[in-house]
Structure 1
């Protein structure tokens, strides 16, 4: 039977959830990913845009945690309260499915990293790679079934362990940093004007979205918090710490290698940079750190996925069966569906030509939808004045600006992703809506309102166009 959640998570534990969720595969691939697109100047612009936009979103999460303490599931409850049941379901499903794709990305990168030494693993999407990934997947699954508190404690330890190689990488590369080499790389290693630089920046946008996914980690687990005010603190401080790490990991390599050399490095490119500075042991050290980091991030994201599906059932957005908890207080039904979907995605990667890139960019595209809805909800509260009755006018104006900036940023990122990923997202959303239909029938409620019917029709049309594009080869996986 379900029990009331124990409110035992401290602010440092929740900050660890944020850091653990954000620091995964992405940070280890940043040097080559950025070097393929731009130099230090373009990287600074990209991080300025992404950092400002995601900081505004972090502030929105911080504000909503205080202004709407009753909405203790984070992502989808804000969308439901602000825009209706089906929009709330879209936020929940988008977050859940996108996170499952992200977990698949982690497995692909681990096996791709090991593929340098074990050819059978290839680029992480061979049959042996998928088989080993599946063993790891279900091993962690059964560990989590033993209790959320235990898994959260393990995540805190793993978070510390995976930050250590990143910090050492920054220190070693900073000591070897050459100012003249950095200046030579500054404009991208050639004669570029501002239009060229902006073009370079656009090529990095979906990558920055991917590495920032997880900023909502504390918000999703807010029902376990000792103090609701700690949720916002954990979100903002965790975000700022990770942002500093990502900027340093991106920029420092330009001071030890030429941009074309960095761009040609095998992923994880942090390993190649450190190898160029200190020798082979540097590559081995970073590769080991990546495996620990990715496994830790996978643990955090599995918890987030199951928690999102579990709480969605409490709001009648998915069938009530997903609200079942085992004797350890773990949402076991939600966990089984989550890992089953990850298993399906793993099998599908065998048939994908560019498995890592596809899962990374589709993860970003799916997760941006709930982010946009959260930002829009924060903007709506500030616009209508709800919850601001006793506040000074300046507070409302400031939070309206924050909500507007966060909304514009997430909307721009969705557009930057392109039509291809919008159609692929529709292919996931259309059949996923069956969960919403079953939930509404289960409580004998009307399935769609008039506007929701129109929205679903557009999603269904997008799915049909997307499937046709896949069949004809217009979209290549």
Structure 2
């Protein structure tokens, strides 16, 4: 990418492209399994407000701390020190890798509706085909990032068309009495609060990518473009997701939608218009997911190499090839993706597991960003020189974002926190390696030891729970 800068439109397309990935196509079933329209509306209100506040945090932090240009984890390091900063970078990176695996699972599950050999996306054939795809993309990206940004624009258009068509057709077929029948979830047990809580990790998954513009902030033509792209991308995508979630309740019974195979958007359209609906959405999905996969492969490599440039990861990962692509980081990313794809063979519902685990891994980095923004606004840093009258508003935004991200950790439940520790604890090896390279003490403060001990204990518990079947994967 060298000296080339990305325009405001391209940056917005990257946010929309990064967010409209696999998640949106799986929303009808995921929500219908948990709740009716009433619970869904509450869930989107909470998620929309919380994520909007988080988007605003990314926006004002981009302007107030322009020197922290590696996005998500640069704030964690600045606010909480080297080891938490490392964990945030590592968690975000691994989370994005797992997200990439969910894309391959969904692609194969989509094809499985037409070619049974792919099953639910985790058969041997599916894993072999996914592996070929991983490395085909790998070598394409090694040839340069600029091509990838251009491809992303085309892909963003191609994937929004079937989503819009789905929305228009279902809106046209809207049956008010069916919507009323489903409204409180029909035969679902459990309070509305429980129903809403069980959809929270999904809403995080579909909003991932909202920070896409801040990851690429060093390429933006103007700093304020990062904020503009984040907020406008957020509104476009939220509108699409709410409609995709709610409209199926107006044409089909909740229990029917809950029983559909993923991608449930294809199955829902097929139920309404016949087989061509499934084909139409499936083609859009394949384009969409491959495009999102491309965007996220770039984000994964960019996060890892930025962390290495920041000296949070071993120097090795900062290495770029002649095309200015962080090649070592890309190799590391795709080796991890490949290993996780192989493990999906043993998973019962590989897509849901990948979706929830991706969300769980991103929660800790997001919580650190929100908390750091709260610390900056509470201390009034930079408000003496830059727009002092924004201080009260920004403080309120940071408070809401912090409460929301903390609530998400609670909603996600202990199982996923423990599962994320299984990944965080061994990741510390990279931190030790980076600190040794710099010739500094591995853990400079006692609090780092405490955090490491907590991660290690969590990992041991997690492995034990998986081995005894308490956590099903």
Q: Same fold (TM over 0.5)?
A: yes
Of 8, 16, 26, which residue of structure 2 is paired with 1:29?
26
The within-5 A match list for 1:6-45 is 6-45=3-42
Of 142, 149, 156, which residue of structure 2 is paired with 1:152?
149
Of 451, 455, 464, which residue of structure 2 is paired with 1:455?
451
Deviations 1:330-379 (A, max 9, x none): 00000000000000001111122221111111110001111111111111
Of 188, 197, 217, which residue of structure 2 is paired with 1:222?
217
Conserved? CA contact 1:7–1:223, under 8 Å: no
Deviation, 1:191, is 9.2
Of 352, 359, 362, which residue of structure 2 is paired with 1:364?
359
Of 390, 396, 399, which residue of structure 2 is paired with 1:404?
399
Conserved? CA contact 2:198–2:411, under 8 Å: no
**1:141 alignment counterpart:** 138
Conserved? CA contact 1:274–1:282, under 8 Å: yes
**1:248 alignment counterpart:** 243
Deviation, 1:415, is 1.5
Matched, 1:272 2:273: no
Q: What is the TM-score of this pair, normalised by structure 1? A: 0.96
Deviation, 1:391, is 5.1
**1:467 alignment counterpart:** 463
**1:169 alignment counterpart:** 166
Q: Distance in 2 between matches of 1:305 and 1:421?
A: 21
Matched, 1:313 2:308: yes
Conserved? CA contact 1:41–1:186, under 8 Å: yes
Of 50, 60, 69, which residue of structure 1 is paired with 2:57?
60
Deviation, 1:115, is 1.2
The within-5 A match list for 1:69-468 is 69-189=66-186, 196-390=191-385, 394-448=389-443, 449-468=445-464
Q: Distance in 2 between matches of 1:179 and 1:47?
A: 21
Range with greater deviation from structure 2 (442-451 or 308-317)? 442-451
Deviation, 1:392, is 6.1
Conserved? CA contact 1:7–1:225, under 8 Å: no
Deviation, 1:6, is 2.0
Aligned length: 472
Deviations 1:52-94 (A, max 9, x none): 0000000000001100111111111111111111111111001
Unmatched tracts of structure 1, length 5 or more: none
- Moved runs in structure 1, 4+ residues, more than 4 A? 391-394
Deviation, 1:472, is 2.2
Q: Distance in 1 between matches of 2:466 and 2:193?
A: 31
Conserved? CA contact 2:201–2:408, under 8 Å: yes
- Per the alignment, in what secondary structure is the counterpart of residue 238 of structure 2? helix
Deviations 1:272-305 (A, max 9, x none): 2212222110111111111111111111110000
Q: Distance in 1 between matches of 2:76 and 2:288?
A: 31
Deviations 1:224-250 (A, max 9, x none): 111111001101110111000000001
Unmatched tracts of structure 2, length 5 or more: none
Q: Distance in 2 between matches of 1:350 and 1:178?
A: 40
Deviations 1:24-47 (A, max 9, x none): 111111111111111111110000
CA separation of 1:267 and 1:385: change in aligned 2, threshold 3 A: same
- Per the alignment, in what secondary structure is the counterpart of residue 36 of structure 1? helix
Q: What is the TM-score of this pair, normalised by structure 2? A: 0.97
Range with greater deviation from structure 2 (200-209 or 212-221)? 200-209
CA separation of 1:388 and 1:457: change in aligned 2, threshold 3 A: same
Conserved? CA contact 1:205–1:416, under 8 Å: yes
Q: Distance in 2 between matches of 1:364 and 1:419?
A: 13
- Per the alignment, in what secondary structure is the counterpart of residue 202 of structure 2? helix
